Amino acid sequence: MQLVFATNNLNKLKEVQALIPTHIKLLSLKDIGCFEDVPETQSTIEGNAIQKAEYIKQHYGFDCFADDTGLEVDALNGTPGVFSARYAGEQRNANDNMDKLLSELSHKKNRNAQFKTVIALQFNNKQHTFTGICKGEVTSTKHGEEGFGYDPIFKPRGYNQTFAEMNLSLKNSIGHRGKAVNLLVNFLNS
């Protein structure tokens, strides 16, 4: 079986490849000759994931899946959410995004947050979605060198490390993307 993972984010690709069984060949957008920006214009995380998967199926004909992930902060009414990648602007800079979030939370006591990943699968001309959530809190400073995005400022519930301080296998076993990918894999294996 082969599936396209509709992402240009090499960090996401690496995380997901570590979770996909070897009998599923994972193709990247580069592998199928897709070099354009896949649209992400929906107002929800679910909507963006579905839009990306449908785009690849319609334009390239491959069974595929796409994900969208957002960090939802309680004290900010779920912000940055669907705008997580562009929170500090269209340059999509992780440090700028983290700095903006830390600034907005600087006087807030409630630092509870959750990462939410939705995977949309286009498979055998049907659509399926899988959601993974990891609850935790936003730290007051950045810690760690691993991971990407908001990982240096997100500490999952029950752990004393941020995602950026964890190795990939631990992050995948407890994280939002790992949970969603496991649901996807279970579906594909059934």
Structure tokens at 16: 């997901």
Catalytic residue status for 68: yes
- Residue 42 pairs with which residues in a beta bridge? none
Spatial strand order in the sheet of 2-5: 25-27, 2-5, 64-73, 112-123, 126-138, 154-156
Amino acid at 51: Q
Q: How far is CA 189 from CA 100, 147, 183, 184, 185, in A?
A: 41, 28, 10, 9, 6
Marked catalytic residue, from 37, 68, 74, 96: 68
Residue 151 CA to residue 129 CA, distance in Å, equals 24
Rounded to a whole number of angstroms, the distance between the first and last alpha carbons of the chain is: 13
The SS3 assignment for 46 reads: helix
Answer for the pair 60, 4: CB distance below 8 angstroms, yes or no.
yes
Catalytic sites, residue numbers? 68
